[in-house]
Structure 1
Amino acid sequence: MIDSEITFRKLEVFLVFMEKLNIARTAEQLGLSSVSVHRALHSLEEGLRCPLFIHRGRNLLPLPAADTLQQHAIQVIEQMALGIQAAQRTAGFGEKRIRLGTLYSLTLETIPRLIMGLKIRRPSLELELIMGSNETLLSRLAAQQLDAILISTSDSFIDEQLYENLPLFKDDIYLAVPADSALVTEGTVDLRDFRQQKFVSLAEGFATYHGFQEAFQIAGFEPDIVTQVNDIFSMLSLVQAGVGCTLIPGRMKGVYADTVKLLPLAEPYQMRQTIALVFARSRERDPNLLALAAESRMYARSHPQKNG
């Protein structure tokens, strides 16, 4: 059993001393005091239960035991360094690639802005973009299949002991109807007036799904959902085609701007999504994630509130 006095740090001090054979120069290279170097060498001898050096005046001279330990300590430190690097690569730490999960709706403006800024900060970084629902992205982040995700945190539980949660902006929810529809009106709309209308929605697990259900509970009726889809662009295409109405975040206003009209909801139904960057706290010092977080903070400062 290895004595607790024998540590990697003390072995590193020992190896530098064996190269310099001078306590002051060893202390200078390691940024330590001479007393700390002397103490480390002495406690290493105690842990080994055998002498490594003899005193000649003010100097420490290595014994044969020190030469033997040096040979093995070099291998131990090199192997441990390789092990640390391998573990970091397995965890995705410091790779030249980052796997970023995002909602489909954020690919219009938010994702391009973040990617441009990230490439300026880390030009050699490759970015793999994976799109999905809130639920899917959270699950893949937990399974370490993604390095970071951009999601709506309004309806999702984020364990802040495990994850960093960096808000980027807030976005209001609107009722989307065909632009040429008789349903288009000035001012806010009351969902109770749409009891006879057909609706399309995102599938369960998507950011807008929970709010969709909650809004109609407040309105007091079950909407007639003719179909559910797995991406927000398909849902807007169905609205454009007159298949049904839907609830949608304001950031989608630019899509089909001439054919789909976004109507503000009356006060009882008003909802707001918080879009945030989420990643594991255990990786908060990863240089790639530090760069992504810095770029996200810049984006947040330029978008204090995003109401459509």
Structure 2
Amino acid sequence: MRDRIDEEITFRKLEVLLAFMETGNLSKAAEALNVSTVSVHRALHSLEQGVRCALFRHEGRNLKSTEAAQMLADVAQEVLALMSDGIRATRDAAGYSSDRLRIGSLYSLTINTVPGIVVDLKVRRPALQVELALGSNAELLDKLKQGTVDAALMAVPETEPEVDALPLFEDDIFFAAPANSPYAKLEAVDLRDCRDETFVSLGEGFVTYHGFVEAFRVADFTPNVTMKVGDIFSLMNLVSGGVGYTLLPGRVRGVFGDKVQFIPLRPQYLMRQTIGVSFLRARERDPNLLALMAVCRLRTRSVG
């Protein structure tokens, strides 16, 4: 069985040892490491305690290394180099500061938000390869936790302690109807007047679906949903074709021209989504994510 390494022996103290061996002087080693001479002396002394043998001898006021210290320094050089390579390989495996950035996004954000962010990101980091994965809010959150995407442009998740988010903008939900709908002339739609209408919706993993359900809960009836789809553009096609009404976020307004009309809802049905870029707290210092956050902050300021 391999001998256990004493807790007094750390990577930082091995770095101090190498600095001392290279400079041959406590003061110069302290200057190279930007620490005090006392800190260097303590680190070297604790290394002696950790290896349980003498590494240095005093010659007057000077500290001189022994053959044992040189042996430990040679091993430390290899250990620190190997650990540095290992950390770099680990980061690459996790996508940390690699040459690619995997971004997840809601379908609805590919109209304006995603293209603008990608263009700005490429200006900031030309060599960075950006990969895009689309899905519902639930799917993107799962991909984020599993590490298959590095960041996700989606509705800011609630009660997720391992996830942090930078809000980008807020978006209201509207009543969506086909062209020439009888609802188009209304200043606002009261959902209670739509009990006899046919509706279409997104699937349960989408944040817009949750707003849809909540709005009809307030209206105190269950809508007649004849079809559910897996992306917002298919949903808008169904609305424009007269298959049914639905509720849609304002960010997709105008995508189908006048074929789909967006009518405000009465105040009691107001549903607002906070859209942002989410990422794992454990990776908040990833250089690629820091670049993405910087781009997003600039876009948020320009919009504000």
TM-score (norm: length of structure 2): 0.94
Q: Does 1:194 align with 2:194?
A: yes
C-alpha distance after superposition, 1:260-289 (max 9, x if no partner): 110000112111111121111111111111
Equivalent position amino acid for 1:217 in 2: R
In the aligned structure 2, how far is the partner of 1:230 from the partner of 1:158? 25
Q: How many pairs align?
A: 301
In the aligned structure 1, how far is the partner of 2:94 from the partner of 2:74? 31
The residue aligned with 2:24 is: 21
Residue correspondence of structure 1 range 1-308 to structure 2 within 5 A = 1-153=4-156, 156-159=157-160, 161-304=161-304
C-alpha distance after superposition, 1:78-99 (max 9, x if no partner): 1111221122222221112111
Q: 1:168, CA displacement in angstroms?
A: 0.8
In the aligned structure 2, how far is the partner of 1:268 from the partner of 1:53? 78
Structure 1 stretches (4+) deviating beyond 3 angstroms?
none
In the aligned structure 2, how far is the partner of 1:135 from the partner of 1:48? 52
In the aligned structure 1, how far is the partner of 2:229 from the partner of 2:303? 29
Contact 2:183–2:263 (CA under 8 A) maintained in structure 1: no
C-alpha distance after superposition, 1:94-113 (max 9, x if no partner): 11211111100011111112
Structure 1, unaligned stretches of length 5 or more? Answer: none
C-alpha distance after superposition, 1:205-236 (max 9, x if no partner): 11111111121222232222121110001111
Q: 1:61, CA displacement in angstroms?
A: 2.2
Percent identity over the alignment? 52
Tell me the SS of whatever aligns to 2:211.
helix
Stretch of structure 1 that moved more, 257-266 or 120-129: 120-129
C-alpha distance after superposition, 1:58-92 (max 9, x if no partner): 33222111121122111111111122112222222
In the aligned structure 2, how far is the partner of 1:63 from the partner of 1:96? 45
Q: 1:180, CA displacement in angstroms?
A: 2.2
In the aligned structure 2, how far is the partner of 1:35 from the partner of 1:157? 48
TM-score (norm: length of structure 1): 0.93
Contact 2:107–2:134 (CA under 8 A) maintained in structure 1: yes
RMSD: 1.5
